[in-house]
Chain A
Amino acid sequence: MDDFKMNTDIKWLQRMAELEANADVSVGGLSCEVSQQPEKPIEGEALNRMALAKLIELRRRTLGLSIEQLAVAASIAVPEAIALELGNLPQPHPRTLFMLATVLKLPSDKLMQLSGLTKPRDGKLNQAAVRFAARSKSIETLSKDELAAVEEFVRILTER
């Protein structure tokens, strides 16, 4: 598939460069890989989303941020941040997850998997998400158990 020659006409090239100037040329998906979304979330995916919501909340609190501070740092709307922590945002935008991952110092690809936007590569993440969701609960300050749960889940997320 390689017996061809490229155009060597310099005027053509310069003209095409001018047409391409200031243009974006990217082709492909809005995410690295996107799975087909089922019409109804299956039990495992619902649990992953709960784990995602709880992870965002507890990680934010570990870093000493208010929801408003998180929203500003991640350049997302405060209502969106609140909805995410309540688990009321069924399909967050990949850009939102990427920005949150940057602020919360979490791997963005794992957040994409927890949200259901991409498929988990193995069952390990699902198992970890279930354990984490079961161990964490919403309280004003993080208990030792809650802090330990966050740290363990983050450790698993950052494993290669």
Chain B
Amino acid sequence: MKPRPVQIIDISTRKPVDAELREVEVPELADAEALWNPYRARSVAAKLRAGGKTEDIPQNYHWNWILKSGELRLLDREVCGIKLGNDWQGLMMTSTAMTHQTRLEVKQRQLLYVKYLESAPWNVHGFAAALGEIPKYGAVGTRLLEVAVRQSMQMDFRGRVGLHALPHSEGFYKKMGMQRLGPDPEFQDLPYYEFTEKAAQSFLDVGV
């Protein structure tokens, strides 16, 4: 993917700020984790010390993009990210393997599958609030989903996108207009969501 400018929102000012969208190499995933991992850990520790329940901890608290990087040896995988200054604000791994097909119809039609997606922990209320902070940047998840939809269209999948959301993330994907197809017993019973072609176009044009 060629680097290109993209804007996200500075939450404190509600104004757009210029960032960069581009493909991410394996060493850069380590750069991201060098900052994300300690922030997640500090947040979890703060939450638990303050008497928070373990079920309130964001469900991606133990993620590690360095461990996920091994999947990039597969030709169907790609990671892109949004960078502001020196810091990665969001990462997404997608798969274009032919095995990913829409479950919304009997006819087998391929879609773009989002394998992993994460906004930097300082952008996530569940992490930031535990440290007494407000999230820094908004619309990072939206922008990454937008990339998935546009890539899907480029590949003639017409915007069809599928993903397994973490339970805490379901509200966001429902708001974006994706259709819920229920818990997937072949994937840890995680809820599976898809964009129809119509919903994907609507998401790009007007939002929701």
Contact = CB atoms under 8 A, between A and B. Distances in A.
Chain B CB within 10 Å, residue with most, of A5, A19, A76: A19
B141 A25 contact: yes
A64 interface: no
Name A's interface SS.
Answer: loop
Interface stretch (A46-54, A81-89, A92-100, A126-134): A92-100
Secondary structure of the B side of the interface? mixed
Interface in B95-125: 96, 114-119, 124-125
B7 A10 contact: yes
Nearest to B96: A1
Nearest to A26: B60
Contacts of B140: 20, 25
A68 interface: no
Contacts of A8: 7
Q: Which of B119, B125, B141 has the most CB of A within 10 A?
A: B141
Contact of A21 (B5, B125, B155): B125
A42 interface: no
A95 B169 contact: no
A114 B176 CA distance: 39
Contact of B54 (A5, A15, A75): A75
A15 B14 CA distance: 10
Contacts of B158: none
A53 B48 CA distance: 25
Nearest to A98: B62
A4 B152 CA distance: 11
Contacts of B5: 6
A33 interface: yes
Interface residues of B, number: 70
Contacts of B8: 13, 17
B158 to A, nearest CB: 14
Interface string B44-64: 000010000010011111111
Give the interface centre of B139, B143, B147, B190 by most chain A CB atoms within 10 Å.
B139
B75 interface: no
Contacts of A75: 48, 54
The winner among A8, A25, A108 for most chain B CB atoms within 10 A is A25
Nearest to B163: A27
8 contacts: A2-B1, A6-B146, A17-B9, A26-B59, A28-B116, A29-B188, A30-B166, A95-B61
Interface of B: 1-2, 4-9, 11, 14, 16, 21, 41, 48, 54, 57-64, 67-68, 78, 92-93, 96, 114-119, 124-126, 135, 138-144, 146-147, 150-151, 153-155, 163-166, 168-169, 171-172, 175-176, 187-188, 190, 204, 206-208
Given A32-B68, A102-B41, 17 more contacts: A2-B1, A10-B7, A17-B14, A19-B175, A20-B172, A23-B171, A23-B175, A24-B172, A25-B140, A26-B59, A26-B117, A28-B117, A28-B118, A29-B190, A30-B190, A94-B62, A95-B61
Interface of A: 1-8, 10, 12-34, 75-76, 94-95, 98-99, 102, 108-109
